[in-house]
Amino acid sequence: MKRISQTTTLLATLLGAGCALAQGFNDAPPNGAAYDQEPAFAGQTRAPALPDDVALTQAVLAEGLDHPWGLAALPDGSWLVTERPGRMRVIGADGAMGDPVQGLPQVDARDQGGLHDVAVADDFERTRRVWWTYAEPRGDGQNATAVATGILSNDGTQMQDVTRIWQQNPAWASTKHFGARIVHDGQGHIHVGVGERSNPEPRQLAQDPQATLGKTIRIDAIDGSPAGAGIEGAMPEIWTMGHRNIQGAAMGPDGSLWMSEHGPKGGDELNLIKPGRNHGWPLATYGTDYDGSQMGQTQVEGTVQPVYYWDPSPALSGMIFYDGQMFPEWQGDALLGGLQASAVIRLDIEGEKVTGEARHLQGIGRVRDIEVAQDGALVLITDEDNGKLIRVTRGD
């Protein structure tokens, strides 16, 4: 692994108004067109392309990461990064790469498994507390998403007092759809969005209130005790149900909780998460199966519609709402990583409706997670064999 000199890797990306309008990300026909799929309301998909005249400059801070997945900012300007094979490391603001942090639990790193999201406490400077999600091996080829917390040593080399505070149940023999993003609610709890394990049989458990597959959960951030929505007949940590594979999550400027998830072939969703809601999967979807067959209905009684959906799929990942000084015209906009789209997707959201979409840095790589640096720059990671930590600044 290497630190890369910023002076040799600067690339300017000019996104003029005409360029943004000509990006063509809404030009492809929907996968669901053969089934006469229609949005439930105007603006639910294919929002107008946002014009933009901001010049963006990229600098690769570090490369050689092995499928990085989670990214968290530290108070000193450095970054905590997870790598799917089971490593977590500190990378300095200058790109200096630390050795893997010791003391993490074993992960099942097959296929989509491994070490996933990472989050730090608001008072990290004092407590040095860290949370992470991972695919936990459970024996006989089975596994499930788990959440752990620990204290990062002052030198950033050791995770101490490690405690697993939550396990997804039931475990399953699958290597797909673990989720799993972490969001703090500011009240001493964390929300975690977890997948339904992909296979046809466990997929149905997204509608089972006695299973935590395909759910969002809310637990105490320290001891993992359940703090769910109080859904009748449901496990006590469940907040919402009916999800496929949540890959992005963030608190909006007004304190509302948003999550994005992968659809099958098309049907990626942006959802406003409110307690007790059923988001429909696998009964309701705007996606089709990978063989092109219809999977469900687009509207099902008792389920809520996504605020926005994509068809074809950009393969959504990490998500933030921009809050910084470098890009004032983006203030409050949602920024989502696009894996298949190889871009940063920006959404203008007014209330509970998406009113515009732009795609920046197209071709940059599989954007897995995004954060905002202290100076308002974007910092992102690309989920690839040679994954990169990239800083994006204003270039005009």
SS3 state at 35: helix
Q: What is the per-residue pLDDT across 149-197, written as a single tens digit (0 to 9) for each? A: 999 999 999 999 999 999 999 999 999 999 999 999 999 999 999 999 9
Q: How far is CA 223 from the centre of its chain?
A: 24
Q: What backbone torsions phi and psi does residue 366 show, to the nearest 5 degrees?
A: -75, 95
Domain that holds residue 73: 2-394
Give how many domains the chain has, as a whole number. 1
Q: Which two tokens stand for residue 112?
A: 């989509």
SS3 state at 165: strand
Token pair 């992005």: residue: 248
Catalytic residue status for 177: yes
Q: CA 246, CA 144: separation in Å to the nearest integer?
A: 14
Amino acid at 216: T
97: β partners? 91
Q: Maximum distance among all alpha carbons in the chain?
A: 59
Q: CA 130, CA 114: separation in Å to the nearest integer?
A: 17
Residue 26 pLDDT: 82
pTM exceeds 0.75, yes or no: yes
Q: Which two tokens stand for residue 228?
A: 């769910």
* Angle at CA of residue 386, ends 92 and 156, nearest 5°: 25
Class of residue 62 by CB neighbours under 10 A (exposed 0-12, middle 13-18, buried 19+) = buried
* Angle at CA of residue 317, ends 127 and 350, nearest 5°: 95
What CATH number is attached to the domain comprising 371?
A: 2.120.10.30
Q: CA 382, CA 258: separation in Å to the nearest integer?
A: 22
User: Which entry of 116, 177, 189, 243 is annotated as an active-site residue?
Assistant: 177
Residue 15 pLDDT: 34
* Positions of the chain with pLDDT under 70: 1-23, 396
Q: Which string of b and e fits 309-328 if b means at least 16 CB within 10 Å? A: bbbbbbbbbbbbbbebebbe
Q: CA 242, CA 265: separation in Å to the nearest integer?
A: 17
345: β partners? 336, 359
Residue 22 pLDDT: 43
131: β partners? 119, 149
DSSP annotation string for 68-86: EEEEEE-TTS-EEEEETTT
